[in-house]
Structure 1
């Protein structure tokens, strides 16, 4: 039953029989048969299908909620028994917003040093994708903003406060200033993250509060792409301080944006489930230790 529920969760996530089968490491006929067997066992139709996947039935949506809880609990049980038998081991899947990627090793390095048999997979995702991934069991935990947009019912540990800097090349307009206002930032040729990124929505929000709006001529979902454009001297960008400071040694300037100097909390989130799996409990504890060091 658990294996069938895991295949059903994969199908709901991928919305494609072939992709779901690939994600589960089985053939498409095997996955299709498992879904039909699950429907027979539960006595309801779970999926509307024609020549391909269409959508979940109303009953399928209710079963999906149960499936996530049951599979989550089953994984927690397996992890706990494995930890009792041989210590902490297994896989940890972590979704991280792009602007927090420079600090993720501050968490994963001490965590893996303490638990060397845990393998960590870090994937860059938007804040919305991280929340969806935790709900669908694609991610075990995520690093994202805590105080800007609703998170729902999750366990969370604040890691650090994000401040903002204008990143530009020396010799470009306003590059010799010690600080800038948000209104002044809007006068520059900008390259910014795309609007599906919460960091971009934060930048838009604070520009709007200053009575201006962003009109970037270049947008990207990659912070490395933004830096490469800034390096040409034709553009400036707005980036979190921790990320901006990494490129000061490369000759760029990172100028504080004030009036006001705003801050947003970034932290670790995980599904609100008690008890947490041993790996998640250890990760949350590592996050608390990392936050103490940050303070």
Structure 2
């Protein structure tokens, strides 16, 4: 039944028989037959069908919750047995919001030094998508904000405190200041992350509290794109200090703390809460705690 539940998870995610079959590496008739066999075993209809996928039935939604739990436990069991035979090995799938990407090597590098048979893939995405990917068992862990929006049932490890700076080129408005206020920041030409990013929602919130509105003339979901535009001297941006610093210090770039308020937000590693964790996730959480302690994040 496990293989059929795994196919059902993919179908629920893709919402299309053809794409789900491709993802599972089987033909569409094989996938359809597996779903029908699962329905026969459980005695309920799981999928509303017409000429195409029309969604899950109420029973299908409930089975989806069980499938995530059962498939997750089965994968944990297989990984534990593999670790018992061969030591820690395998692949870890990470997703990270753009402002945490520079932090990823602080975890992956020491982890892989200790466990050289483990490989990684890293996806850049939004905080909401990270939670959806965790729920659907598509990633093992994510790096995101911990305090601003509901996380659901996850295990979290604080890694770093974000403090916000105006990042601007030398010789531009406000570049000679020791500090700037959120209200003053609204008066310069800004490039910011797109509205679907939690960082942007945080920036909007602090600007709104200062009585102003963010009106960027350029938006991107990439911090590299934003920093590249700052370097032209035509734009400034609002970035966490650690992110701006990761691009390297340049004489032509100024990073000015934004005050009133001196806003701080915690970012960290999140993983779906389960007991026990897979050996890989357990080791990853351990590495994250070492980093958090090094950064003195409480």
TM-score range, shorter chain: over 0.9
Which is worse superposed, 241-250 or 270-279?
Answer: 241-250
Identify the residue that residue 286 of structure 2 maps to in structure 1. 285
> How far apart are 1:290 and its partner, in Å?
1.0
Q: Secondary structure at the match of 1:131?
A: helix
* Contact 1:248–1:254 under 8 Å retained in 2: no
> How far apart are 1:253 and its partner, in Å?
1.4
User: How far apart, in 1, do the equivalents of 2:284 and 2:229 lie?
Assistant: 36
Q: How does 1:98-137 map to 2 (within 5 A)?
A: 98-137=98-137
Q: How does 1:251-290 map to 2 (within 5 A)?
A: 251-290=252-291
* Contact 1:167–1:255 under 8 Å retained in 2: yes
Q: How does 1:126-275 map to 2 (within 5 A)?
A: 126-250=126-250, 251-275=252-276
* Contact 1:8–1:35 under 8 Å retained in 2: yes
> How far apart are 1:183 and its partner, in Å?
0.4
The CA RMSD measured in Å over matched residues stands at 1.1
Q: Secondary structure at the match of 2:65?
A: helix
User: How far apart, in 2, do the equivalents of 1:63 and 1:180 lie?
Assistant: 53
User: How far apart, in 1, do the equivalents of 2:228 and 2:53 lie?
Assistant: 41
User: How far apart, in 2, do the equivalents of 1:245 and 1:115 lie?
Assistant: 29
Identify the residue that residue 20 of structure 1 maps to in structure 2. 20
Identify the residue that residue 51 of structure 1 maps to in structure 2. 51
- Output one character per residue of 1:216-268: Cα deviation in whole Å (capped at 9) or x when no partner: 11111111111122122111111111111133524321111111111100001
Equivalent pairs, count = 295
Identify the residue that residue 79 of structure 2 maps to in structure 1. 79
Which is worse superposed, 88-97 or 241-250?
Answer: 241-250
Identify the residue that residue 4 of structure 1 maps to in structure 2. 4
Q: Which runs of 5+ in 1 are unaligned?
A: none
> How far apart are 1:271 and its partner, in Å?
0.7
User: How far apart, in 2, do the equivalents of 1:99 and 1:19 lie?
Assistant: 31
Q: Secondary structure at the match of 1:264?
A: strand
TM-score, L = length of structure 2: 0.96
TM-score, L = length of structure 1: 0.97
> How far apart are 1:158 and its partner, in Å?
0.3
Pair 193,282 (structure 1): closer, same or farther in 2 beyond 3 Å = same
Q: Secondary structure at the match of 1:275?
A: coil
> How far apart are 1:28 and its partner, in Å?
2.0
Q: Which runs of 5+ in 2 are unaligned?
A: none
> How far apart are 1:50 and its partner, in Å?
1.6
User: How far apart, in 1, do the equivalents of 2:276 and 2:284 lie?
Assistant: 13
Q: Secondary structure at the match of 2:249?
A: helix
- Runs of 4 or more off by more than 3 Å in structure 1? none
User: How far apart, in 1, do the equivalents of 2:55 and 2:241 lie?
Assistant: 43
> How far apart are 1:104 and its partner, in Å?
0.6
* Contact 1:230–1:237 under 8 Å retained in 2: yes
Identify the residue that residue 94 of structure 2 maps to in structure 1. 94
